[in-house]
Structure 1
Amino acid sequence: MSRLRSGINRVALLAVAAGLLVSGVVLASATGPVRERLPSHWPRLPADRTWLDGEALGRWREQGWWPPLVIAALCVGVLLFLCWGVAQLRAGRLRELPLGQPDVTLSGAALAAALAERAGAVDGVARAHVTLLGRPRRLRARITLVLAADSRPEAVLRDLAGQAVAEARAAVAPRALEADVRLTVQRHRTRRLR
């Protein structure tokens, strides 16, 4: 996930959470048990408050402008939510990659498997897993390497960039391919003595 999209998602979730928290606090301050425990200097809603009494509801019914405005605002909110959801679904794994001719495509899973095989062949790598993300014009490979205990990460990264990633970039050219590499070390199993 790109940093911009990740930041937008976090801001949207923070705004929704803040709105729900403020609404919950306002509604809870109108109940008796919560009102008694609040400090005296905090603002509170009166306990006998009605949100819409008959007189206020009648005044609102006389105004003809607000129902279309509320409905339009709700429709815009639903459309923005749907667009956000579609953008989240589209930015997942790469399914197939068009190769320039009308009916010729390369499977994203096949390219990821080939890249994982080449990455696993690098000296010092015990296991490799590759996931291709993004869109056909902007590819991103998430490479997870499990290193052998005696390997050097600098040498592994240098060999990975010079061999497997360079071959993958040549295969998808003229498209750009970004590579995110995550390294972990193979754990040793402790031997039990009897």
Structure 2
Amino acid sequence: MLKGVNRVLLGLLGLGLFALGGGVLLGGLDLQRHWGFDVPGWWPFRGPDDVVLGTEGRTRWREEGWWWPTVIAVLAVLLTLLLWWLLAQRRRRLGQILVDSGDGAEARLDGRTLEDVIEEEAQALDGVSRARVRLTGRRTAPAARVRLLLEPHADPERILRQLTRETLAHARDSAGLDRLPSKARLREARHHADRVA
């Protein structure tokens, strides 16, 4: 559902910005005079010497008591919606995974438990200092995001191969999943030299 909401909101925002930019470009380049057409009477920006919001438009509602509370309320609602949209973009941790138990019924596997198991097995690999795993996606199609902190002597190619062929394969097989797409991020641990007095 989040993808659908994102597409609709981005489409509307893009359409609005495109229309606004096209209108300003139309007036700024004086295209209606060059191409021989007229803009509607309500259009505020008719030529290169016009401003988008004139003095009358800026001062029209100043004396009305409802104007500023309405403007502030609309901006507060807009800010709240934008903050909600921003927070909704964060990938949520998967609480449960639905697993086909083989008898036609679905079993539920705790997502945090599977994350812990993958972390422990990845951390046991030679050269891995610390491992962090987060399961995202849908309950029926989870994906793993793995972050590994490597020791200076570690061989990243070997660790990535072991992570893919052993650790993630074990997790996929033990959970009864057909596939477990994953992204791994490897970073080297930095050790600071101790000062000897």
TM-score band by shorter chain is: 0.5 to 0.7
2:119 is equivalent to residue 116 of structure 1 = yes
The structure that is helix-richer by fraction is 1
Kindly report the root-mean-square deviation, in angstroms, between the aligned alpha carbons of the 2 structures: 4.2
Say if 1:17 and 1:105 are closer, same or farther in 2 by CA, change over 3 A.
same
Q: What is the aligned-residue identity percentage?
A: 29
Distance 1:152 1:187 in 2: 15
Does the 8 Å contact 2:129/2:149 carry over to 1?
yes
Q: Tell me which stretches of 4 or more aligned residues in structure 1 moved more than 6 Å.
A: none
Name the residue aligned to 2:188.
185
Name the residue aligned to 2:160.
157
Distance 2:191 2:8 in 1: 38
The CA deviation string for residues 18-39 of structure 1, in whole angstroms up to 9 with x for no partner, is 59x97xx9xxxxxxxxxxxxxx
2:88 is equivalent to residue 88 of structure 1 = yes
Name the residue aligned to 2:99.
99
Does the 8 Å contact 1:143/1:182 carry over to 2?
yes
Identify which of 48, 51, 55 aligns with 1:44: 51
Aligned residue runs from structure 1 range 1-20, under 5 A: 8=7, 11=10, 15=14
Residue 49 of structure 1 aligns to a residue whose secondary structure is helix
Identify which of 122, 138, 155 aligns with 1:135: 138
Does the 8 Å contact 1:146/1:185 carry over to 2?
yes
Does the 8 Å contact 2:131/2:149 carry over to 1?
yes
Say if 1:15 and 1:144 are closer, same or farther in 2 by CA, change over 3 A.
same
Does the 8 Å contact 1:95/1:109 carry over to 2?
yes
Distance 1:47 1:88 in 2: 38
Say if 1:145 and 1:105 are closer, same or farther in 2 by CA, change over 3 A.
same
Distance 1:112 1:142 in 2: 10
The letter for the 1-side match of 2:160 is L
Q: Which runs of 5+ in 1 are unaligned?
A: 26-40, 54-77
Residue 99 of structure 1 aligns to a residue whose secondary structure is strand
The letter for the 1-side match of 2:117 is A
Identify which of 175, 186, 191 aligns with 1:172: 175
- TM-score, normalisation: structure 1: 0.58
Deviation of 1:176 after TM superposition, in Å, equals: 2.3
Q: Which runs of 5+ in 2 are unaligned?
A: 25-47, 61-77
Per mean C-alpha deviation after superposition, the further-off stretch among 96-105 and 117-126 is 96-105
Residue 113 of structure 1 aligns to a residue whose secondary structure is helix
